[in-house]
Amino acid sequence: MTGCIERGCPLPAYRRSRCREHYLAEERRRRGTTTQRGYGADWQRFTRERVLEVGMCQTQPHCPYPDSGNPLTNPLTTDHMTLGLVLCRRCNSAKQHADRGASKSLERGGP
């Protein structure tokens, strides 16, 4: 097993030749801040207001996660693709992955 490429880091490589800590830090730098990705103060204010208004995950028929809405483990968010839809973070991630899979299928000429 190879070591992390960051100078002075003794930990083993996790991904892309970096330890887990340095890999995650590099990913955060690469992605940019929420504002740089288009989720600035207006979006954050909208999200806070919408989450307070709805107060629960709107996954249909119901959210499968018992910790839905727990601010420490599975906070509520707003889906940026379906404006105003409040989802817990886990449901939002699952929807995002499903949407990506569907769009890749269409790109390949699938149904």
Bridge partners, 76 (sequence order): 88
Q: DSSP string spanning 12-55?
A: BP-BTTB-HHHHHHHHHHHH--TTTTT--HHHHHHHHHHHHHH-
Residue 11 resides in a domain: yes
Residue 36 resides in a domain: no
Domain carrying residue 52: 41-107
Per-residue tens of pLDDT for the chain, all 111 residues: 789 999 999 999 998 899 999 999 999 999 998 889 888 999 999 999 999 999 999 998 899 999 999 999 999 999 988 888 999 999 999 998 888 876 654 455 554
Residues 57 and 25 in one domain: no
Residues 97 and 49 in one domain: yes
